[in-house]
């Protein structure tokens, strides 16, 4: 596909060809008219959704002339790629002529999200949010399909990422390196999601699984009752702390989990905020979102609660409205970002006045040797991307947060070493003689408040 002179033919497929696939087609035709020849269809089409038309019109894209069509109507088109935008379409994706690459990018269903809305005005925020998620995905789609940069690569200047990248950027620009790191991390976590709990060295995010995810969770403070209530597969051993334990969650609060993975901390937080609260999990890896949404059905069945949702997005550009969240939690994720100051600014942006942060992460007590910092496996293992403890404090303060409290927990690192984790064994080999990982790395609880 990379060498094709013509635009790539891409089919966006969902069940009803009513909303999400129509939005995706509209964005593709608007953002990439020269590189993508976009179509949409449904496995069971049932008409164009007027609120989807309205949401796209607000963003300057007219899809009012689109029609809802069955996928069979496009059987004669030789597609280069099929993008399934809902889980049902992904499971029942029909076999189409040609060597089409199938990509799953599941998005929430706006009509389902808005089912309790009393008016169109109440429903529209759900359509706008999914619309914007789809745009972010489509913006980078040509690059994902071909591996080549596109004219729509962006250098961010704010929430809208509105400045096109140009050849006049200085040679020292970190944007390409940041993109490469993000894509390698995304690929690593996609493999973890697809393999259950198997990371690059045979284990999870923060170390290889020489012990079970349940053993790790108990060791870092999750209660037996919390673990017993978890949907199977949501705990993948990706934690380095228990942010819900320091968040003091209360009924009725809106909680945002950065890097939700399979939904583990979201499912812990859900019962704490109850029927009047809401938990939003954000993850940049479609495979993780698919896993989390499959776990969601079990959570609803076991708890009787329908208060958790998952959104596709990057933590440097959260798909969440300004001042809409009471508590932000995150578990061993912030260190993976190539632009940590921007993550902290995003946290401050989405928090309500008086909102709070409860983060468990890995941080450095002193700089790591270069051989560890440049090891991508260690980065996916939550180590190489960690910053010094005081740097983390400075970033939170610079973002406008206050009452920043840092609590190092080096015993977590000692436990990983004592469990003979392969990742930490490699780190030991790279350290000066007589040194141990906990001399350099610590698990850290961070709490802060937005005033």
| Residues known to be catalytic | 14, 86, 93
Give the E-state strand segments of 194-335 in sequence order: 203-204, 207-208, 254-258, 278-283, 308-312, 325-331
**311: its two tokens:** 């959104």
Longest dimension (CA), the chain: 70
State both tokens at 115. Answer: 């089912």
Planar angle of CA 239, 244, 249, nearest 5 degrees: 165
- Where do runs of H (alpha helix) occur along 76-119? 87-91, 110-113
How distant, in Å, are the alpha carbons of 196, 245, 294, 311, 407 from that of 214? 14, 17, 20, 26, 23
Query: Got the DSSP string for 107-137?
Result: ---HHHHTTT-SSHHHHHHHHHHHHHHHHHH
Does the CA dihedral 219-298-110-88 come out positive or negative? positive
CA atoms within 13 A on the CB side of 83: 29
φ, ψ of residue 140 to 5 degrees: the values are -100, 5
Q: Which helix (H) or strand (E) holds 268?
A: helix 264-273
Which residues have a Cβ under 8 Å from the Cβ of 28 and sit 6 or more positions away?
10, 12, 36, 38, 138, 141
């Amino acid at each position: 596909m990379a060498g094709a002179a013509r635009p790539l033919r891409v089919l966006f497929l969902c069940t009803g060809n009513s909303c999400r696939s129509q939005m995706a087609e509209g964005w593709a035709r608007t953002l990439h008219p020269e590189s993508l020849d976009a179509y949409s269809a449904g496995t069971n089409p049932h008409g164009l959704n007027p609120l989807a038309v309205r949401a796209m019109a607000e963003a300057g894209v007219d899809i009012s002339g689109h029609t809802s069509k069955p996928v069979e109507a496009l059987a004669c088109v030789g597609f280069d790629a099929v993008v399934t935008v809902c889980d049902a379409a992904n499971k029942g994706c029909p076999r189409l002529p040609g060597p089409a690459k199938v990509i799953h990018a599941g998005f929430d269903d706006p009509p389902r999200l808005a089912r309790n809305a009393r008016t169109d005005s109440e429903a529209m925020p759900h359509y706008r949010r999914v619309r914007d998620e789809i745009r972010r995905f489509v913006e980078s789609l040509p690059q994902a399909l071909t591996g080549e940069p596109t004219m729509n690569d962006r250098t961010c200047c704010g929430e809208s990422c509105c400045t096109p990248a140009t050849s006049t950027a200085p040679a020292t620009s970190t944007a390409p390196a940041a993109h490469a790191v993000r894509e390698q991390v995304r690929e690593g976590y996609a493999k973890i999601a697809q393999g259950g709990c198997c990371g690059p060295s045979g284990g999870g995010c923060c170390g290889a699984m020489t012990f079970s995810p349940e053993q790790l969770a108990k060791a870092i403070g999750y209660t037996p009752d919390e673990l017993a209530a978890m949907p199977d597969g949501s705990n993948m051993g990706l934690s380095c702390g228990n942010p819900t334990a320091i968040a003091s969650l209360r009924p009725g609060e809106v909680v945002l989990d950065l890097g939700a993975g399979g939904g583990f901390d979201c499912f812990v937080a859900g019962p704490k905020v109850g029927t009047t609260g809401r938990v939003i999990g954000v993850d940049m890896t479609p495979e993780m979102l698919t896993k989390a949404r499959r776990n969601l059905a079990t959570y609803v069945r076991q708890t009787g609660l329908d208060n958790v949702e998952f959104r596709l997005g990057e933590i440097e550009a959260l798909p969440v409205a300004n001042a809409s969240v009471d508590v932000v939690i995150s578990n061993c994720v912030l260190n993976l970002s190539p632009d940590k100051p921007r993550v902290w600014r995003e946290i401050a942006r989405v928090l309500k006045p008086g909102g709070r942060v409860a983060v468990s992460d890995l941080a450095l007590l002193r700089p790591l040797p270069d051989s560890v910092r440049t090891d991508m496996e260690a980065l996916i293992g939550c180590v190489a991307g960690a910053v010094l403890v005081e740097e983390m404090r400075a970033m939170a303060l610079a973002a406008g947060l206050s009452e920043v409290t840092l609590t190092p927990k080096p015993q977590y690192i000692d436990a990983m070493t004592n469990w003979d984790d392969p990742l930490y064994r490699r780190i030991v080999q790279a350290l000066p003689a007589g040194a141990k990982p906990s001399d350099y790395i610590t698990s850290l609880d961070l709490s802060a408040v937005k005033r």
